[in-house]
Structure 1
Amino acid sequence: MNGRPLAPRVLGRRVPLPLVAWLTLVWVTLWGDISPANVLGGIAAGTVVSWLLPLPALDPGIRARPVALARFLLYFGWDLLISTARVVFYVFRPGPPPAQLIRVQLRTSSEPMTVLIMTALSNVPGSIVVDAYLAERCLMLHVLGIPGDATEKVRGDVTALESRVVAAFGTRADQEELRTP
């Protein structure tokens, strides 16, 4: 087993049991009948497929930290509530709402973290990521409903969001990158 109980070796190659279980489920579902023969056939097919076509080990660069995740979700939920109220206010108010394009500098160079930040920003009503300059670590945001020059407020909000996302999902290298000036 060599320290990997969910991926025993079969004839010199690792066979990941969760993948075999998934392929067995797909096999039985495709046959449309839960019978002992179909389950055994699915196990055999899943074992052969995962042995013949091994998947490379992938690290998506995302870790889940429960306390930091809970903190992120609380702030994100509060931001959703406030932003929704702001957008609803401007929908029912006569005249055009205040809107701005703001360029925001990110501190992280991690693509998974950047994608999570962009997703969080785009899911909040009244903000959307218009463009991403990954080489420069910059995002171009369209924000709606913040009167006056909102540049510094939005940049501060994005920096705080970036810190919460990296704390909740980032690797140690990602977290260290935010600590260095």
Structure 2
Amino acid sequence: MNRWWPAPRLLGRQVPLMMVAWLTLVWVTLWGDLSVGNVLGGLATAIVVTWLLPMPVTDPGIRIRPVALAGFLVTFGWDLIVSTARVVFWVAHPGQPPSQVVRVPLRTTSEAMVVLVLVALTTVPGSLVLEVYERELVLHVLGRPGDVADDIRADVAQVERRIVRAFGTRRDREELG
């Protein structure tokens, strides 16, 4: 199952101890009373549930690389500050702020990496992913005057590259070159 958490066998099936502990905690919390009976009942229920309904073994395709993650977080934090200042500037000034809808191609094919890119782009103030195609995003960007579609594409490519460096598998990193 998982190489980090023990999963002993019970009658031929693996029972993940972390899942049992979590379900027991939920059980006791829902009952609202920390007693020996509730803990034992939660343990019994958790063991039966995890044994009868085993979770499939999945690989989300995410690997965490601490140095690359730190670099991504620093640049992402800076992007948040700059974008927030840009949105505040346009909110404080009367009139219609400039906005654009830009099609942005993605180079990664990993669903996990695409989702992380979507979350990162949508989290930044002034940008919103409107649609997602197989390897293309439709992005609405607020507050960047002029025709800056190429700059926006370059910015998204940088975000994608940093995310793949921080979270991607070897195959994901090879796709980006």
TM range (shorter): over 0.9
- The TM-score normalised by the length of structure 1 is 0.91
Q: Residue type of the partner of 2:136?
A: C
Q: Where does residue 90 of structure 2 map in the other structure? A: 90
Which runs of no fewer than 5 residues in structure 1 stay unpaired?
A: none
| SS of 1:141 mapped into structure 2 | strand
Cα distance between partner residues in 1 of 2:24 and 2:88: 48
Cα deviation, 1:111-168, whole Å, max 9, x if unaligned, reads: 111111111111111111111112xx01111111111110111011000000011111
Q: Where does residue 69 of structure 1 map in the other structure? A: 69
Q: Residue type of the partner of 2:168?
A: G
- Partner residue of 2:164 out of 143, 163, 166: 166
Q: How far off is 1:5 after superposition?
A: 6.0
Cα distance between partner residues in 1 of 2:44 and 2:129: 47
Aligned residues of 2:28 and 2:42 also touching (Cα < 8 A): yes
Cα distance between partner residues in 1 of 2:26 and 2:90: 48
Aligned residues of 2:97 and 2:142 also touching (Cα < 8 A): yes
1:47 paired with 2:51, answer no
Moved more, 33-42 or 115-124: 33-42
Moved more, 24-33 or 112-121: 24-33
Identity, in percent, stands at 63
Q: How far off is 1:70 after superposition?
A: 1.1
Cα deviation, 1:44-68, whole Å, max 9, x if unaligned, reads: 2211111111111121122222111
1:139 paired with 2:151, answer no
Moved more, 113-122 or 57-66: 57-66
Which runs of no fewer than 5 residues in structure 2 stay unpaired?
A: none
Hey, which bits of structure 1, 4+ residues long, moved more than 2 A? none
Cα distance between partner residues in 2 of 1:92 and 1:26: 46
Cα distance between partner residues in 2 of 1:147 and 1:29: 52
Cα distance between partner residues in 2 of 1:14 and 1:37: 25
1:150 paired with 2:151, answer no
- When residues 4 and 151 of structure 1 are mapped into structure 2, their CA distance, relative to the original with a 3 A threshold, is closer
| CA-based RMSD | 1.4
Q: Where does residue 102 of structure 1 map in the other structure? A: 102
1:120 paired with 2:85, answer no
Cα deviation, 1:13-59, whole Å, max 9, x if unaligned, reads: 10100011011112212222111122122112211111111111121
Cα distance between partner residues in 2 of 1:147 and 1:7: 56
Cα distance between partner residues in 2 of 1:44 and 1:88: 54
1:176 paired with 2:174, answer yes
User: What does residue range 19-38 of structure 1 map to in structure 2 within 5 Å?
Assistant: 19-38=19-38
